[in-house]
Chain A
């Protein structure tokens, strides 16, 4: 246990000066931009100063160094305060601040990873603590090293449920290397935060969630230094009572100043006043160096050690193949980690869990937090992360997934029980909008494997493909349809059934491609030949292969999917073909909220089974014949 060494008066004055320069810089930048949140920055000035120049151990010239203490600004709108700290370290130039929010500037209105000192984008509130949990978990259990993780939250965002999911996770996993600083400045955007300045209520809540919670005057350098230095055996919450707009007399503790840049003359007056409070001191502060005990990690050579080991005709559900593929990938790559939301027996991530229990992280029924923790584990390229739950439950975390894309995160997500084929459990557990959800994300890759072999390939490709990767798996068993030595690539479709005189091209994936193959066999007896294409990835879609084959089948394409009409495979094909002529595209999908039933009954009722496919094909052919 270290003794606490009180900082000397010169240090305290230097830290006060940094805090006041933060105020000046935040006002200067936001007034120049005509936009931003200066009052939100003013309440955290002393907190940031102490964190960046007293508490945290890091190399300012190498912000992403894996030994550094980590910092997450969960209250992302206070980003000018963050920029100001990096100006103090010399990493940014003071003149850069004047370009805040300009369209060609790297200093945006909320933190983005364009800056080296930003690990994850924030701005959608309540998400930073979950990411901090992932970083702290990695530091304690995977890297087993000394770096600490600091997360600064606002009081407004503490109304978000995701914050409390993270609080539960942190204490459950005893993340004693995690510190959350709560800037309780009483005021939210349009109204005061519900608990206003009742810091004792915040303390009780944090303690109820298993944290050590200490109340401090958020503008006292001495109190902050002391609170941030004391080691604990639990995650620590520093509940800082602060004043929004501190240092701007007209705005201090007043409503109506959130997100308001100061008008020019007011800004000049206030900055002059703040400047006069900056006292000369001989002390030049520099952050202490990090402890270098984190193992170097390279994620370069992540690959499967051997080809998939399935035999033709063997039957396996793609969800089970996912679990087996994870376990296999994890066998030869020790930085593969897997998260799940109390569904590991359904998603089959339990197969990985049984083989590599130390790299499995149970996130319980808190999907928002699971996605944030995944991002934290993947930050600074420390791990290759897979997180799984039922596909429908990723809708719970769409904002986190959206922010993952903005953060340029490389997390891999797998959703099982997609579509009607979930069966008896009914619509609440069926994912019928997940392709739409992931297609609307920039940087996303969507794998929709149809058998065990493609599932294993999807896992391997996801592990090495940048951006958010999503693997959609199904509940039931299906036959192996590929050879073990077949090559698979992102954006490369496969023709799984073809003849010389094919009349229609059917595009389908997952369970439905098996229905399409059955329909094709059946139609063969009626002398109707159809070609079946498995897209493998829905995004990017192999439009060229589909168009080339559709040309051969006289422009006739039928898409069939276990998903709603909107935003899925059919719309992906349809929008890719919008400027092509000579094509007739028909789509089969689920048209309204379904019900419980046996999977094969549901496929029939909602018109996406082998009979519906065959019927649609007969209709397409008879209407072309009629047209002639």
Chain B
């Protein structure tokens, strides 16, 4: 992380530094100081959450969202497919402050069109009907789980709306609240992360 800060200094380079999401906890003091330094480094943590599987908890990122949310100047991208990941990389490169992109191990379907516009702080509604009963907010692997659940529930005549926040910070609370109002105030959030410190 320190070398990344050094490479980015004086606007000499656009820098991306990556490792397993959970190992960024090893550098939390350096990340904290990066924000105080007004650095523009971009970080990518892979193998987030329990979805990494057999290697167990030492390798799972379950507190990284809490960690990056508490860093001022940070933007947190949590893309759910290949298209939004590419958009996240492009946006991170041009967004000031610390940018964190959280990626997953398992393969997942492409769910967006290549010409879809993405913005920091803009959520996407990825599944809806005219009469939705619950708003479900998921990201990464849990977005795909939510979509599968929505399909299952459709057969039981239960309609749910599924939202992909795209960025956890800043969070598009307007879209979530508007959607929740349409679904009688019911919201379910699902995340591959611990409860605490999250969205």
Interface residues of A (CB under 8 A from B): 33-36, 76-77, 101, 108-110, 112, 121-124, 160, 367-368, 392-393, 395-396, 398-399, 401-403, 406, 427-428, 432-433, 436-437, 439-442, 539, 564, 566-568, 571-572, 575, 591-593
Contact = CB atoms under 8 A, between A and B. Distances in A.
Given A436-B67, A439-B196, A402 B25 contact: yes
B63 to A, nearest CB: 4
B56 interface: yes
B35 interface: yes
Contact of B36 (A368, A402, A539, A593): A593
Given A124-B22, A440-B197, A567-B197, A110 B67 contact: no
Contacts of A399: 22-23, 25-26, 28
Interface stretch (B68-76, B82-90, B133-141): B68-76
B6 interface: no
A439 B197 contact: yes
Contacts of B56: 101, 108-110, 112, 123
Nearest to A367: B29
Contact of A398 (B53, B67, B69, B72): B67
B28 A398 contact: yes
A440 B195 CA distance: 7
B59 to A, nearest CB: 6
Given A35-B53, A566-B197, A593-B35, A398 B26 contact: yes
B29 A395 contact: yes
Nearest to A407: B58
B70 A437 contact: yes
Given A402-B25, A571-B197, A436 B70 contact: yes
B112 interface: no
A432 B70 CA distance: 8
A406 B58 contact: yes
Q: Choose among A396, A432, A440, A591 the residue with the greatest number of B CB atoms under 10 Å from its CB.
A: A440
Contact of A396 (B29, B35, B59, B67): B29
Nearest to A368: B26
A437 B55 contact: no
B28 A396 contact: yes
Given A35-B53, A109-B54, A398-B28, 6 more contacts: A33-B54, A110-B55, A112-B56, A121-B57, A124-B26, A591-B72
Contact of A433 (B22, B71, B73, B194): B71
B182 interface: no
A227 to B, nearest CB: 30
Interface residues of B, number: 32
A112 B57 contact: yes
Contact of A402 (B22, B29, B55, B70): B22
B144 interface: no
26 contacts: A34-B54, A35-B53, A35-B55, A109-B56, A110-B57, A121-B58, A123-B56, A160-B26, A395-B29, A398-B26, A398-B29, A398-B67, A399-B22, A403-B58, A433-B67, A433-B70, A437-B28, A439-B196, A440-B62, A440-B67, A440-B194, A440-B196, A441-B196, A442-B194, A539-B196, A593-B35
Contacts of A395: 28-29, 31-32
A34 B195 CA distance: 30
B66 A428 contact: no
Interface string B37-74: 00000000000000001111111001100110111110
B152 interface: no
Given A398-B67, A399-B23, A564-B70, A433 B58 contact: no
A259 to B, nearest CB: 8
Contacts of A437: 28, 63, 66-67, 70
A597 B35 CA distance: 19
B33 interface: yes
Contacts of B57: 110, 112, 121, 123, 406
Contact of B196 (A34, A428, A567): A567
Interface string B175-191: 00000000000000000
Contact of A567 (B23, B26, B59, B69): B69
Contacts of B195: 575
A484 B64 CA distance: 40
Interface of B: 22-23, 25-26, 28-29, 31-33, 35-36, 53-59, 62-63, 66-67, 69-73, 169, 194-197
A566 B55 contact: no
A566 B67 CA distance: 9
Contacts of A393: 29
Contacts of A121: 57-58
A367 B36 CA distance: 20
A28 to B, nearest CB: 16
Nearest to A79: B56
A1 to B, nearest CB: 40
Nearest to A36: B54
A33 B29 CA distance: 37
Nearest to B61: A402
Contact of A427 (B23, B36, B194): B36
Nearest to B58: A123
Nearest to B53: A35
Interface centre among B26, B31, B71, B195 (most CB of A within 10 A): B26
Contacts of B32: 392, 395, 433
B197 A436 contact: yes
A440 B26 contact: no
Contacts of A110: 55-59
Given A395-B28, A395-B29, A428-B33, A567 B66 contact: yes
Which of B36, B59, B70, B73 is the most central at the interface, judged by chain A CB atoms within 10 Å of its CB?
Answer: B70
Nearest to A34: B54
B180 to A, nearest CB: 12
B72 A592 contact: yes
Contacts of B62: 440
B5 to A, nearest CB: 14
A101 B57 CA distance: 12
B23 to A, nearest CB: 7
A566 B70 contact: yes
B123 to A, nearest CB: 18
A29 B152 CA distance: 37
Contacts of B59: 109-110, 123-124
Contacts of A402: 22, 25, 63
